């Protein structure tokens, strides 16, 4: 498929180019809502809807380099908005629809977003913080019948007034494209900025790892709020003219198996927590399911335990290919894939053109079999371009031409990579990275809370769970009601996935002499292990 050198625009390649290649009448997206009603959108439809959105945004004075966000659950309008925003060379950020006010304020504020598309029920959260977002000029409501007030517009109105033809200007590889915020262990979330040239890696891995061709029917369960949802739920497959199933319902083993069967899905990309949930279900659901169309299953986001692969081999009669990547890498870097024997528990071997290394902190290579920092030779097409407004954090991730991923891993003598953990305190719960700092900040907003320390602890289902140590002000006592209040607060301010599973009331939070919370000590306390060297402990 021809991508012209001066036209790397993701929006263009996923829509207009597909029409030019003769795919205008092919189904690009079968949208299945939570009530199971189906609506098909062809590549021609995708082209016209995204063109309208591009024209509508231009009419609202959004232009090249401006940041625009989607804040929606999975729904067709989100895809049209994403592609339309990219067509005008504005940067498109996607916000997970569970985000609370603090999470929204951090992201919309840091990026200086000029506009956002959302729906009425979610807009309430934005309305409460709008006064703190001077750059945010307007909000588009997908379910707003009429413009509600100045700066709150109806999607139906702006789309009806916009033309469905749009001339996408030539877009270079370097032009900024997609923005996802990622959580670190300290400080605010960082805006990972990508460029239109990232499509080269996303397309290559969609072909070379997921094995998708024009004849496939593909389902990616990831939410578009995260990198898998944009790289492999939008860009990779549509750049190849592949038909995607997008499903608006939540987790339901029976419904999922029926979907795989009824839609004759050939390739399915999901995540370990969902697969572990399936493992707990009645086996009959799987033995009775007709999965004859299903060619391969892939997984990403957290370590995939060997038991899940063995379960799948036994009941689904297929392997599950685990793949490794992260927001910053933009595309799959180290995957298992058909043609390479799986070693259950390993994330596989590097994709063509990707050069990983296991390095010690001083930058020297460690021997095969030994644990070290998982690094990648800088320079692949979908490598992030910066952390928005935080060039120093970006630079700190690179040393001598190597990108330090923040993960630790080992390589075996046959070249397979094995994930060991994170080299920082970031918590991975159900495939979502959670910053302990963000949860601690939310906890400190609760009137009764004096100090807090948050850690991730092993969990059979979620991989890790969020555990909060909480010290109350002297005049308050721990209680079940207070636990509920704390959980609700974190859910409203950060997100429901950041809500602590365990809350442990304690008399003090261990800190070092410079006041840094010693999460290592809290973790050892929680697990009943030896905390190691505590010579710098203050409390
Ligand atoms: P995110 O940037 O939110 O996509 O999260 C990326 C992080 O999730 C990685 O740095 C890993 O810590 C973890 N991760 C992603 N895929 C895998 C995998 N296949 N195995 C183990 N950890 C993974």
Band (pLDDT 50/70/90 cuts) for residue 514 is confident
- pLDDT of residue 297 exceeding 60, the answer is yes
Q: Residue 536 has what pLDDT? A: 64
Q: What are the structure tokens assigned to 467, written together?
A: 């555990």
Find out whether the beta carbon of 303 lies less than 6 Å from any atom of ligand 1. yes
Question: How confident is the model at residue 530, as a pLDDT?
Answer: 82
pTM of the complete model: 0.94
The more confident residue out of 153 and 536 is 153
CATH architecture under which domain 17-250 falls = 3-Layer(aba) Sandwich (3.40)
Specify the pairing of strand 402-411 against strand 417-422. antiparallel
Report, as an integer, the average pLDDT of 372-401.
Answer: 97
Ligand 1 and 301: CB distance under 6 A: yes
Ligand 1 centroid–CA 106 distance in Å is 22
Give tens-digit pLDDT for 237-272: 999 999 999 999 999 999 999 999 999 999 999 999
Mean model confidence pLDDT for the chain = 95
Give the mean pLDDT of 384-396. Answer: 97
Provide the pLDDT for residue 532.
74
Judge whether 17-250 and 357-424 match in fold.
no
Domain chopping of the chain, boundaries: 17-250, 357-424, 427-527
- Token pair 């050198």: residue: 5
Average pLDDT score over residue span 441-445: 93
Q: Say if ligand 1 is within 6 A of residue 329 CB.
A: no
170-214 pLDDT tens trace: 999 999 999 999 987 777 899 999 999 999 999 999 999 999 999
Judged against a pLDDT cut of 90, whether residue 6 lies above it is answered with no
How many other CB atoms sit within 10 Å of the CB of residue 415? 12
- How far CA 355 is from CA of 366, 401, 403, 417, in Å, comes to 15, 11, 11, 12
Confidence grade of residue 168 (pLDDT, cut at 50, 70, 90): very high
**What is the model's pLDDT at position 537?**
65
Mean pLDDT of 388-414: 97
Helices (H) and strands (E) in the chain, counts: 18, 26
Q: What is the pLDDT of residue 185?
A: 74
Locus of tokens 């120093």: 392
- Count CB atoms within 10 A of the CB of residue 278: 20
**2-11, 95-104, 407-416: range with lowest mean pLDDT:** 2-11
- Check residue 538 and give its pLDDT: 63
- Choosing from 225, 328, 433, 498 the residue with most ligand 1 atoms within 8 A of its CB, the one to mutate for a pocket test is 433
Mean pLDDT of 48-74: 98
Is the CB of 298 within 6 Å of ligand 1? no
For residue 117, which of 153, 91, 147 has the smallest C-alpha distance? 153
Query: What is the per-residue pLDDT for 91?
Result: 98
Question: From CA 58, how far away is CA 83, in angstroms rounded?
Answer: 14
- pLDDT at 146 exceeding the cut of 90: no
Angle at 145 between CA 140 and CA 150, to 5 degrees: 50
User: Does the pLDDT of residue 1 top 70, yes or no?
Assistant: no
What pLDDT band is residue 472 in, cutting at 50, 70 and 90? very high
Q: Which helix (H) or strand (E) holds 464?
A: strand 463-472
Q: Tell me the C-alpha distance between 70 and 512, whole Å.
A: 41
pLDDT of 535:
63
Closest ligand 1 atom to Cα of 422: 12
CATH level 3 topology of 357-424: Luciferase; domain 3 (2.30.38)
Within a 10 A sphere around the Cβ of 281, how many other Cβ atoms? Answer: 15
pLDDT for the residue 503: 97
**Residue 380 in contact with ligand 1 by CB distance below 6 A:** no
With beta carbons less than 8 A apart as the criterion, state whether 417 and 347 touch: yes
The answer, yes or no, to whether residue 2 has pLDDT greater than 60, is no
Which helix (H) or strand (E) element contains residue 69? strand 67-71
d(CA 343, CA 322): 10
CA–centroid distance, 80 to ligand 1, in Å, is 28
**pLDDT > 90 in the chain, percent:** 92
Please tell me if the CB atom of residue 115 comes closer than 6 angstroms to any atom of ligand 1: no
Q: Which atom of ligand 1 is nearest to the CA of 347?
A: 19
Site to probe by mutation for ligand 1, drawn from 271, 275, 324, 424 as the one with most ligand atoms within 8 Å of Cβ, is: 324
CA separation (Å) from 224 to 76, 149, 232, 291? 11, 28, 9, 26
Q: How far is the CA of 199 from the centre of ligand 1 (A)?
A: 20
Question: Residue by residue, what is the 3-state secondary structure of 29-55?
Answer: EEEECCCCCEEEEEHHHHHHHHHHHHH
15-24, 430-439, 463-472, 511-520: which range is least confident on average?
511-520
CB atoms within 10 A of CB 408: 17
Q: Label residue 94 by pLDDT band (50, 70, 90).
A: very high
- Of 147-151, 206-210, 422-426, the poorest mean pLDDT is in 147-151
User: CA angle, 103 as apex, 102 and 109 as ends, to 5°?
Assistant: 85
Q: How many CB atoms lie within 10 A of CB 406?
A: 18
3-state secondary structure 335-371: ECCCCCCCCCCCCECCCCCCCEEEECCCCCECCCCCC
Instruction: Name the architecture of domain 427-527.
Output: 2-Layer Sandwich (3.30)
- Residue closest to 503 by CA, chosen among 445, 455, 461, 433: 455
**How many C-beta neighbours within 10 Å does residue 393 have?**
15
Probe target for ligand 1 pocket from 305, 326, 335, 427, with the most ligand atoms within 8 Å of CB: 326
Q: Distance between CA 141 and CA 397 in Å, rounded?
A: 38
């Amino acid at each position: 498929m021809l991508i012209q050198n001066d036209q790397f625009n993701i929006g263009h390649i996923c829509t207009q180019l597909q029409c030019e290649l003769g795919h205008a009448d092919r189904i690009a997206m079968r949208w299945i809502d939570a009530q199971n009603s189906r609506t098909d959108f062809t590549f021609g439809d995708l082209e016209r809807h995204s063109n309208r959105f591009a024209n509508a945004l231009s009419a609202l004075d959004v232009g090249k380099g401006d940041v625009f966000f989607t804040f929606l659950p999975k729904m067709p309008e989100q895809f049209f908005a994403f592609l339309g925003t990219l067509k005008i060379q504005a940067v498109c950020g996607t916000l997970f629809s569970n985000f609370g006010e603090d999470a929204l304020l951090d992201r919309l504020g840091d990026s200086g977003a000029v506009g956002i598309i959302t729906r009425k029920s979610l807009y309430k959260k934005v309305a409460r913080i709008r006064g703190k977002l001077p750059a945010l000029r307007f909000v588009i409501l997908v379910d707003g019948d009429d413009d509600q007030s100045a700066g709150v517009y109806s999607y139906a109105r702006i789309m009806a007034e916009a033309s469905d033809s749009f001339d996408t200007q030539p877009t270079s590889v370097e032009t900024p494209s997609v923005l996802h915020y990622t959580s670190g262990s300290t400080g605010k979330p960082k805006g990972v900025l990508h460029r239109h040239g990232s499509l080269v890696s996303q397309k290559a891995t969609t072909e070379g790892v997921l094995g998708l061709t024009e004849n496939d029917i593909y389902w990616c369960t990831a939410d578009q709020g995260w990198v898998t949802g944009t790289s492999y739920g939008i860009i990779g497959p549509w750049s190849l003219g592949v038909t995607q199933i997008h499903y608006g319902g939540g987790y339901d083993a029976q419904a999922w198996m029926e979907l795989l069967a009824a839609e004759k899905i050939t390739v399915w990309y999901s995540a370990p927590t969902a697969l572990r949930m399936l493992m707990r279900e009645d086996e009959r659901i799987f033995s009775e399911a007709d999965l004859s169309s299903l060619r391969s299953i892939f997984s990403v986001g957290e370590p995939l335990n060997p038991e899940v692969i063995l379960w799948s081999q036994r009941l689904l009669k297929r392997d599950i290919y685990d793949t490794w990547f992260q927001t910053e890498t933009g595309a799959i870097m180290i995957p298992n894939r058909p043609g390479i024997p799986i070693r259950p528990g390993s994330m596989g071997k590097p994709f063509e053109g990707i050069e990983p290394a296991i390095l010690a902190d001083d930058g020297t290579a460690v021997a095969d079999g030994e644990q070290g920092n998982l690094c990648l030779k800088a320079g692949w097409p979908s490598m992030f371009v910066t952390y928005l407004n935080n060039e120093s954090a970006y630079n700190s991730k690179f040393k001598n031409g190597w990108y330090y991923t923040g993960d630790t891993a080992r390589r075996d003598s046959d070249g397979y990579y094995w994930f060991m953990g994170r080299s920082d305190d970031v918590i991975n719960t159900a495939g979502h990275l959670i910053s302990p700092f963000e949860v601690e900040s939310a906890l400190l907003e609760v009137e009764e809370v004096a100090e807090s320390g948050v850690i991730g602890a092993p969990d059979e289902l979620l991989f890790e769970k969020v555990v909060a140590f909480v010290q109350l002000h002297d005049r308050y006592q721990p209680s079940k009601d207070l636990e509920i209040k704390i959980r609700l607060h974190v859910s409203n301010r950060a997100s429901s996935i950041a809500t602590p599973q365990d809350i442990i009331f304690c008399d003090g939070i261990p800190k070092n002499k410079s006041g840094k919370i010693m999460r290592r000590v809290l973790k050892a306390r929680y697990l009943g292990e030896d905390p190691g060297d505590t010579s710098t402990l203050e409390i």
